[in-house]
Chains A and B, each alone.
Chain A
Amino acid sequence: MTQVLNRAQPADQGGSSEGDRPKTYRSIPISTLVEMAGSAAAALAMAWIVFSVSGISGALGFAFCAACAFFTVYGLLCWRLYGILAMKDRLATVAIWAGSLVAFIPLVGVIGYVIYRGGAVIFARFPHFIFADFSGYTANAPVTAVGAGAAIVGTVEQVGLATLFTVPLGVLTATFLVNNRNAFATVVSNVVDAMTGSPAIIAGLFIYLIWVAPQHQAGKSGFSAALALSVMMLPIVTRTSQEVISIVPGSLREAALALGAPQWRAVLRVILPTARVGLVTAVILGVARIAGETAPVLFVAGGNPKYNWNPFSGQQDDLPLRVYQMIFQPGIASTRDAWGVSFVLVLVVLTLFLLARLIGSKTPGPGRLQLPWHMFRRTTGEMDE
């Protein structure tokens, strides 16, 4: 959501952020480096001595103690050399950099681990895992016996259907919210906000009760899963579209109306086309968020190791569901295959995410009328204008 907003907003309207920032002194003086290196060496030595004297071991504990010691030593040093204010500033800087480093560890950790465990499965016999299905699975099956093909088909169809349902509805609602500021619009806006954070399992439960349970076993299908995903996706698409549409310059709307266009033409021919790139970004981000959701499809898709091309009849597989089922299968082969499917899932989701960023960054502002598929139609020379 935020990224859409940042992308699409014109450079001169960036709130109070980019343009008028104070020039700060960025480069680190050599004396600071020497002080930090000295403190680090002293801290490591202290921690090592304490650990070897008391006979404690453990890498995590050592790292923690060394970090505490570094903080103390460096703080004392700065306090003696530069005074209490400089000490606070230096320690805060160290803490902030360390804290933000912690935020990036899980991302690197999880993606690295998925590549490490899943890559081995995918590339065991390369294209096979993408096209085969799970009907050949046994507890001792070799790595080449199964594949994620059926799950990929299911994910594509379910997410595609969900997108088809939600995008028109979400964009229309967003337009309504931008155009109106009455009590009804405020209520809807708050409801959309609140639903964005509602538990994923509730969407699955709701569709199960309203659509699957009345039809018993026959109700479980790709279409039901698409409905559950739509419940999750609708608030996301509405919210992001609202942000994108609300930054379309008001003067454009005024101009359209002044030229005699009725309101519906102003919206359909001027406002939505202007916000087009932002809307595409919003939709792709919504798709990326939805494609990885497991909880909504858990009760309603059914799962199916074989290919099922028809989302409207019969149980269907999808990627997150397949990961979930393989995790709970006994045996080493199942864990291994779960990592393989996870790899495909992460690849799909992150590719969508990067695609959205790419399209979003193509335009500097919402004023440019540029379709994302222009890049395929135009010659390369015109493309990078």
Chain B
Amino acid sequence: MTTLTSSASPTDFADNDVPLNLLTKPNGPDRIFNGILAGSSGLVLALLAATVVFLCYYGFDAFRHAGFGLFTDLTWSPDTGQFGMLPLLVGSVMIAIIGVAIATPVSLSTALMINEYAPSRLRPLLTAVIDMLATVPSIVYGFWGLILISPAQAAPARWLAQHLGFVPLLRTPSPGFYIKSIFACGLICAVTIIPIITSISREVMAQAPRDVCEAALGLGGTRWGMVTDVILPFSRNGILGAILLGIGRGLGETMIVVLVLSQANHLTPDILGPNGLGSIAKEITDNFVVSSVITKSGLILLGLILFMTTLAVNVVARLIVQRTGQVSR
């Protein structure tokens, strides 16, 4: 391949500026140089492959012991031969979904505010502030959540449990306590998800054709009408992808969950109290150092499951976002 073309990345704005293809074959030094470039890319692939291989290799021991118990057992306790990963996986997914459910409306309104409502002079500043939100380390968010937010959300959670307790999600597995719950974790994880959904959906929304927007306004539509009839339909796929990426971020969130969630792994549909669902990331972090050989292997297996789940979600999300980017041109 001697072609010199610009990348296929959807975020590449230089499409009108693609250099022409080279028809000559590269000579010696060029071939070496291209080899080095390809080699470094291969190393990135190798890194991913090595991660999967090593996790598989060390987790296989537990997989052999567990068999179908991985999906049928209801508790996670490898030392006694119970390998039920469902309470942990469901907990991880639940935290991500709660986080995204809270973050999505906030992020979309922030993205719309930055793009359409705020004065355009403020736009770089507001974008920077949202990016700053992503820069604060998650352990600081976790610590802040543990000390401040987890107790603060207890009162509304108690109100919900007392008045709407007949809904399965809104009970508590250990009555009287409303802190260190899956919900509290999701609430704090939402803070780390907001910047992701905001920045991606903002970029997608900014690609909505301006002439159609102006036409909507020119026909006498309100600004909200322009948003619902032009911008949102146009950027629907991109927003969906952004939400999926947010779920991926929530799934991979470690320190917040480790600090805030109580130590438990019971498969219950209740999310408001401690002593409910667990989380894969927390289980690994808490027990990996001190555990027995078979538990270590089990935790590595859990890590592999989490890794593959997150990878799948992220790949699907990126594909959706990319497709939107190509449609928009």
A residues at B contact (CB < 8 Å): 1-3, 5-6, 9, 13-18, 20-22, 24, 26, 58, 60-61, 85-86, 88-89, 92-93, 95-100, 102-104, 106-107, 109-111, 113-114, 168-169, 172-173, 175-182, 184-202, 205-206, 209-210, 231, 234-235, 238, 242-243, 246-251, 253-254, 257, 262-264, 267, 285, 288-289, 291-295, 298-299, 320, 323-324, 327, 335, 338-339, 342, 345-346, 349-350, 353, 357
Contacts and interface: CB of A to CB of B under 8 A. Distances in A.
A98 B26 CA distance: 58
A234 B44 contact: yes
B167 interface: no
B143 A323 contact: yes
Contacts of B71: none
27 contacts: A2-B203, A3-B128, A17-B210, A22-B210, A58-B159, A93-B224, A99-B106, A100-B109, A100-B113, A100-B114, A114-B144, A172-B40, A173-B43, A188-B41, A199-B306, A202-B306, A205-B288, A205-B303, A264-B30, A264-B33, A292-B135, A292-B138, A293-B137, A294-B254, A295-B281, A350-B132, A350-B135
B300 A205 contact: yes
A197 B223 contact: no
B4 interface: yes
* Secondary structure dominating the interface of B: helix
Contacts of A349: 135-137
Interface string B251-271: 111110001000000000000
A205 to B, nearest CB: 5
Contact of A254 (B19, B128, B129, B225): B19
A288 B143 CA distance: 19
Given A24-B223, A289-B135, A295-B285, A169 B43 contact: yes
Interface in B20-36: 20, 22, 26-27, 29-30, 32-34, 36
Contacts of A9: 13
Given A178-B6, A299-B288, A353-B131, 12 more contacts: A3-B128, A6-B127, A14-B13, A103-B133, A107-B133, A179-B4, A185-B8, A191-B48, A195-B311, A210-B54, A242-B7, A298-B285
Contact of A197 (B30, B43, B245): B245
Interface stretch (B62-70, B79-87, B191-199): B191-199
Nearest to A320: B139
Residue of B26, B54, B140, B254 with most chain A CB atoms under a 10 A cut-off: B140
Given A13-B14, A103-B198, A198 B140 contact: no
A96 B109 contact: yes
Contacts of A294: 137-139, 254-255
Nearest to B207: A15
Contacts of A179: 4-5, 34, 37
B241 to A, nearest CB: 11
B222 A99 contact: no
Interface size of B as a range: 35 or more
Interface string B209-242: 1110110010000111101000000000000000
Nearest to A196: B314
B245 A176 contact: no
A263 B34 contact: yes
A243 B199 CA distance: 15
Residue of A231, A253, A339, A357 with most chain B CB atoms under a 10 A cut-off: A253
Contacts of B130: 103
Contact of B318 (A2, A26, A110, A190): A190
Contacts, number: 342
A14 B86 CA distance: 47
B327 interface: no
Residue of A5, A113, A193, A199 with most chain B CB atoms under a 10 A cut-off: A199
A194 B140 contact: no
Contacts of B133: 103, 106-107
A17 B206 contact: yes
A3 B140 contact: no
A209 B14 contact: no
Interface in B133-184: 133-141, 143-144, 146-148, 155-156, 159
B210 A20 contact: yes
A109 B187 CA distance: 14
Given A103-B130, A254-B20, A238 B44 contact: yes
Given A172-B40, A193-B318, A294-B138, A96 B13 contact: no
A228 B6 CA distance: 32
B128 A357 contact: yes
Contact of A85 (B105, B217, B225, B259): B225
Given A5-B11, A201-B303, A88 B207 contact: no
A243 B11 contact: yes
A126 to B, nearest CB: 22
A344 to B, nearest CB: 11
B120 A107 contact: no
A111 B210 contact: no
Nearest to A58: B155
Contacts of A113: 144, 148
Given A254-B20, A292-B139, A206 B48 contact: no
B210 A16 contact: yes
Given A176-B37, A257-B4, A247 B26 contact: no
B248 interface: yes
Given A21-B210, A246-B12, A197 B314 contact: yes
A288 B139 CA distance: 14
A357 B132 CA distance: 10
B222 A209 contact: no
B19 A250 contact: yes
Contacts of B40: 168-169, 172-173, 176
B191 A106 contact: yes
A20 B212 CA distance: 12
A198 B310 contact: yes
B206 A110 contact: no
B88 to A, nearest CB: 13
